Amino acid sequence: MCATCGCGINETGSHSHGHDHPHDHAAEGRLISIERDILAKNAGFAAGNRRLFTERGVFALNLVSSPGSGKTTLLAQTVQTLREEFPVAVIGGDQQTARDAERIQAAGAPAVQINTGKGCHLDAHGVGHALEQLPIPEGGVLFIENVGNLVCPADFDLGEADKVVVLSVTEGEDKPLKYANIFSAARLMLLNKTDLLPYVDFEVERCLEYARRVNPDIQILQLSARTGDGMVAWLDWVRQGQQAVLAQQISRLEAELTSARARLAVSGR
């Protein structure tokens, strides 16, 4: 039997398959083992971005959600406050326009837009190039607003410290189950538009339970980017992440300093 296609012909020599191509039964070819992650290339670029963030002490967040959940509104409010405290910058992914970047710039932060065209997610390579067009927010925070889509961005590591999934109360409480992969990949879920809760059928507790079911470790904050309700807790969450990155940078630099001093002591002997 032909091992290539499973057809029943067992004589040697060439024959043609109706569905594909002629091939030679005397030479069935070699099997080459690969065992490589399909997204290995993206992972390589993501590692490069992550190295840059580590070196420059940048806390990088990848915000994912469906279109219209309020990411840009939230980020405009967020950078307006935080830019007084440390450097901030925003990379936005959008299929067509640069409107989101303009909204962020109006709020006083550097922003660059990546137009993905038909692409439904950002990838680490594109983010790497966007970083060349931005002042790196050294010792501060980089917010990456992903393309509005709850499926595809789950797979593409951008080099961020954490994914933040934004869900608004107008979208239905079952979304964590329907888009389990992205809720499973996120460190934090922001439940936005809580000002609209009186007007929609949305069972908050059930939604939170669903989110914890697919991700036992997920942290959850509720807020309204419109009224500012709950914003303080979110801003504190970001500040804590930024401080943790700075603390890591300090211990890394101290370790480098110690080993440089040790080398000097040895060579000066």
Ligand X SMILES: Nc1nc2c(ncn2[C@@H]2O[C@H](COP(=O)(O)OP(=O)(O)O)[C@@H](O)[C@H]2O)c(=O)[nH]1
Please list every residue from 176 through 205 that binds ligand X, using CB under 6 A: 192-193, 195-196
Assigned token pair, 104: 């962020």
Q: d(Cα 76, Cα 79) in Å, to the nearest integer?
A: 6
Is residue 146 at the binding interface for ligand X, with CB under 6 A as the rule? no
Q: Which stretch binds ligand X (CB under 6 A): 36-44, 70-78, 121-129, 213-221?
A: 70-78
Alpha helices in 83-134 (DSSP H): 99-106, 124-132
- Calculate ∠ Cα 235-238-240, nearest 5°: 110
If the CB atoms of residues 212 and 226 are measured against ligand X, the closer one turns out to be: 226
Which part of the chain contacts other proteins (CB under 8 A), choosing from 135-143, 160-168, 214-222, 247-255? 214-222
Where does this chain touch ligand X (CB under 6 A) — which range of 37-45, 61-69, 132-140, 204-212? 61-69
Work out whether 25 is an interface residue with other proteins (CB under 8 A): no
Q: Running DSSP on this structure, what letter comes out for residue 54? A: H
Q: Are 150 and 64 in contact (CB under 8 A)?
A: yes
Number of residues that bind other proteins (CB under 8 A): 43
Q: Residue 254: which of Mg ion, ligand X, other proteins, none does it interact with, CB under 5 to 8 A by kind?
A: none
Under the binding rule (CB under 5 A), the answer on residue 72 touching Mg ion is: yes
Residues within window 100-119 making contact with Mg ion, judged by CB under 5 A: 100
CA atoms of 75 and 228, how far apart (whole Å) = 12
Query: For residue 10, what are its two tokens?
Result: 């067992």
SS3 211: helix
Closest residue to ligand X, based on beta-carbon distance: 70
Long-range contacts of 10-15, Cβ-Cβ distance < 8 Å, separation of 24 or more: none
Stretch that binds other proteins, among 35-43, 82-90, 196-204, 238-246 (CB under 8 A): 35-43
Phi, psi of 15 (to 5 degrees): -150, 170
Q: How far is the CB of 99 from ligand X (least distance, A)?
A: 8
Beta strands in 103-161 (DSSP E): 111-115, 141-145
Q: Residue numbers of the site for other proteins (CB under 8 A)?
A: 4-5, 20-21, 23-24, 27-42, 119-121, 123, 151-152, 154-156, 176-177, 180-182, 184, 210, 212-216
